[in-house]
Amino acid sequence: MLSRLDIYNVRNLEAVRLHGLGRACVLFGENGSGKTSVLEAIHMLSLARSFRASSARSVIRHGEPHCTVYGEVAQAGGAVRALGVQRETSGMAMLKVAGRPVRNVSSLVAELPVLVINADSFQLLVGPPAGRRRFLDWGVFHVEHEFFPAWQRFQRCIKQRNTLLRRDKLAPEELAAWTRDLASAGERLTACRRRYFDQLVPVFGEVAAELLPECEAVGLRFRQGWDASQPYEAALAATAGSDREQGYTHVGPQRAEIAVTVGGHSAADTLSRGQQKLVVCALKLAQGHVLRRQERPMTCSYLIDDLPSELDAIHTRRVCDQLQALGAQVFITCIAENAMAGMWPAAAVPPQLFHVEQGRVTPVGPANPGAGDAVEDGQ
Ligand SMILES: Nc1ncnc2c1ncn2[C@@H]1O[C@H](COP(=O)(O)OP(=O)(O)O)[C@@H](O)[C@H]1O
Ligand SMILES: [Mg+2]
């Protein structure tokens, strides 16, 4: 859990220092005050990049050569782990874990798993399969330790195989060797995905039933990317001709997909935007549960940009109940100070409130959003 956060030159945040962060933090403020930028900074601490910008440059405060985020993660058992990320306008990234430089983002991610829920989240359902593969692999990465090396190996093999397939002069032995390697890495990474998916499905079913009791059963199906009745190597042999003709590998884990259904129909084609957001919340909550149930339990930090948008009070409250029950850390942004009033479970420790104003972040808590001017929804 993130207990301290220092942000320098991220968008309009020149210098923001937040200490003693608790399980639930609500950031409120006008449009353009810097709320999403705070979430972006936390995201950078986990993945070295923002969730909304494609380039590092756009996140760096105009006129500055770099931006820096420093954080402390309180681990189970009381230890504290320091994380640091600096991004330069050139795109260069400097990452540190416990004061030591690290080369790979995977070292950061492992320290601070973050999940984003925002206005774009419905894309996870309606967008291309690549988004759902990323969603799946994020969880697999945290839970299956064989996954990352297998995934790296697979990426290398498929790149090499596709290059060979595009060559004018075929090199059959070389192609066969890379195909064998590809098949074995692909099987390994798919086995990891399957094991993780099997843990995810029942938890997702429970959470989805809590969030959308009014919907028919929401289901998940995993498609591994080739005919599941045969080994990957056989599937590759069967498509060897068309692979060669078109110069790329047609089947495999690069084509894996998760199908989300409601009462047997595609969720993307059936649900309203608000319901889609709830299904995405259920998917991400389920990931948090799976991480928490590991031998070495991990606490996810949820970055939830403008939670109340598209959700009515009843469903917002259900999402809050679920987040609280999960024991995750939650950063929620909203516009009005009282937007989350009455939403967080009254019996829980109330969220810390922060007012974001022109790039400054000021604690105004502790406040009990369950009390005061909460509006009862009588509908
Ligand atoms: N690279 C940048 N340098 C300086 N300011 C920026 C940069 N990028 C965006 N901004 C400004 O930062 C402000 C904060 O944006 P944002 O965090 O999205 O606000 P909020 O989420 O509170 O609506 C906006 O007013 C925007 O104009
Ligand atoms: Mg915003």
CA–centroid distance, residue 125 to ligand 2 (Å): 22
Ligand that lies nearest to the alpha carbon of residue 358, given by its number in the listed order: 1
Sheet with 66-74: list strands edge to edge.
Answer: 13-18, 2-10, 66-74, 80-88, 93-97, 100-102
Structure tokens at 100: 């030591």
**What does the pLDDT read at residue 75?**
87
**What does the pLDDT read at residue 371?**
38
Assign 378 a pLDDT band (cuts: 50, 70, 90). Answer: very low
Q: Is residue 29 in contact with ligand 1, taking CB distance under 6 Å?
A: yes
Average pLDDT of the segment spanning 314-335 = 96
Helix (H, G, I), strand (E, B) or coil at 261: strand
- Buried b / exposed e across 65-85, counting CB within 10 Å, b at 16+? ebbbbbbbbbeeeeeeeebbb
Q: Counting atoms of ligand 1 from 1, which one is nearest the CA of 58?
A: 1
Q: Is residue 101 in contact with ligand 1, taking CB distance under 6 Å?
A: no
Distance CA 19, CA 91 (A): 29
Average pLDDT of the segment spanning 347-360 = 96
Which domains occur in the chain, in start order?
A: 1-113+301-379 (3.40.50.300), 120-298 (1.20.1050.90)
**What does the pLDDT read at residue 168?**
81
Does the pLDDT value for residue 338 go beyond 60? yes
Q: Is residue 11 in contact with ligand 1, taking CB distance under 6 Å?
A: yes
Q: Which residue has the higher pLDDT, 366 or 129?
A: 129
One-letter amino acid for residue 308 of the chain: P
Judge residue 254's burial from the number of C-beta atoms within 10 Å of its C-beta, 0-12 exposed, 13-18 middle, 19 or more buried.
Answer: middle
Average pLDDT of the segment spanning 156-162 = 97
CA proximity to 106, closest of 46, 164, 65: 46
Q: Is residue 61 in contact with ligand 1, taking CB distance under 6 Å?
A: yes
The answer to whether the CB of 66 falls within 8 A of the CB of 87 is: yes
Average pLDDT of the segment spanning 344-372 = 81
pLDDT tens per residue across span 21-63:
999 999 999 999 999 999 999 999 999 999 987 788 999 999 9
The answer to whether the CB of 244 falls within 8 A of the CB of 170 is: yes
Judged by average pLDDT, the poorest of 93-107, 214-228, 357-371 is 357-371
Distance CA 267, CA 265 (A): 6
Hey, which of 11, 31, 35 would you mutate to test ligand 1's pocket, going by the most ligand atoms within 8 Å of its Cβ?
A: 11
Indicate the length of the chain as a whole number.
379
Alpha helices in the chain (DSSP H): 35-47, 56-59, 105-109, 123-126, 129-143, 147-166, 172-211, 232-238, 240-246, 267-270, 273-292, 313-326
Distance CA 133, CA 252 (A): 12
CA–centroid distance, residue 124 to ligand 2 (Å): 19
Residue with tokens 């938890």: 203
Distance CA 220, CA 202 (A): 9
Does the pLDDT value for residue 379 go beyond 50? no
**What does the pLDDT read at residue 366?**
56
The answer to whether the CB of 359 falls within 8 A of the CB of 376 is: no
Assign 365 a pLDDT band (cuts: 50, 70, 90). Answer: low
Average pLDDT of the segment spanning 66-76 = 94
pLDDT tens per residue across span 251-302:
999 999 999 999 999 999 999 999 999 999 999 999 999 999 998 889 999 9
Residues forming beta bridges with residue 282, ordered by sequence position: none
CA–centroid distance, residue 291 to ligand 2 (Å): 28
CA–centroid distance, residue 32 to ligand 1 (Å): 5
How far is CA 140 from its chain centroid? Answer: 12
**What does the pLDDT read at residue 368?**
44
Ligand that lies nearest to the alpha carbon of residue 354, given by its number in the listed order: 1
- Buried b / exposed e across 282-313, counting CB within 10 Å, b at 16+? bbbbbbbbbbeeeeeebbbbbbbbbbbebbee
CA–centroid distance, residue 115 to ligand 1 (Å): 21
Assign 374 a pLDDT band (cuts: 50, 70, 90). Answer: very low
% helix / strand / coil in the chain, to the nearest 5? 40, 20, 35
Q: What is the mean pLDDT of the chain?
A: 93
pLDDT tens per residue across span 82-96:
999 999 999 999 999
CA–centroid distance, residue 260 to ligand 1 (Å): 34
Q: Whose CA is nearest to atom 13 of ligand 1?
A: 32
Assign 171 a pLDDT band (cuts: 50, 70, 90). Answer: confident
Does the pLDDT value for residue 211 go beyond 50? yes
Does the pLDDT value for residue 76 go beyond 90? no
Q: Counting atoms of ligand 1 from 1, which one is nearest the CA of 34?
A: 17
Q: Is residue 229 in contact with ligand 1, taking CB distance under 6 Å?
A: no
Q: Regarding beta strands 24-28 and 352-357, do their DSSP bridges make them parallel or antiparallel, or are they unpaired?
A: parallel
Distances (CA, A) of 201 to 29, 215, 267, 273, 290: 37, 17, 15, 22, 10
Distance CA 65, CA 187 (A): 44
The answer to whether the CB of 68 falls within 8 A of the CB of 43 is: no
Q: Is residue 317 in contact with ligand 1, taking CB distance under 6 Å?
A: no
Residue 41: CA atoms inside 13 Å, Cβ hemisphere, count? Answer: 32
Other C-beta atoms lying within 10 Å of the C-beta of residue 221: 11
Q: Is residue 3 in contact with ligand 1, taking CB distance under 6 Å?
A: no
Q: Counting atoms of ligand 1 from 1, which one is nearest the CA of 31?
A: 23
CA–centroid distance, residue 305 to ligand 2 (Å): 7
Residue with tokens 């190996």: 153
Other C-beta atoms lying within 10 Å of the C-beta of residue 8: 18
Helix (H, G, I), strand (E, B) or coil at 13: strand
